[in-house]
Amino acid sequence: MALVQEYSGPAVCTTRLQRLFLHLDLGMDPVQVMQEDQLPIVSHGEVNLEDLEVFCQRFAHGLGYCPYSLS
């Protein structure tokens, strides 16, 4: 598996990422995992744009601004 940081540099599987993968493996809803772990999940296949937009809005609201990576 290849992990890539926001700007395409190699990433180490940190404790945060390990927890994210564990939550997904346990069958948690991806939107719930993104909200709780505060990490975006990008996958191939059909995208639910409504769920993605809700996550981006909540994430930006929690930060107080919209990061470039979400715009």
For residue range 3-49, what is the model confidence (pLDDT) as tens digits? Answer: 555 556 666 677 888 888 888 889 888 888 888 888 777 766 677 78
Note down the domain range covering 61. 15-70
> What CA–CA distance (Å, rounded) separates 4 from 71?
19
In a domain, 9, yes or no: no
What angle do helix axes 30-37 and 49-63 make, rounded to 10 degrees? 10
Question: Which one is predicted more confidently, 52 or 1?
Answer: 52
In a domain, 39, yes or no: yes
Report the pLDDT value the prediction gives residue 6, as an integer from 0 to 100: 57
Number of domains in the chain: 1
pLDDT digit string, tens, across residues 46-66: 777 888 788 788 888 888 888
In a domain, 53, yes or no: yes
**Contact status, residue 31 vs residue 38, Cβ threshold 8 Å:** no
In a domain, 56, yes or no: yes
In a domain, 8, yes or no: no
Per DSSP, the three-state class of 34 is helix
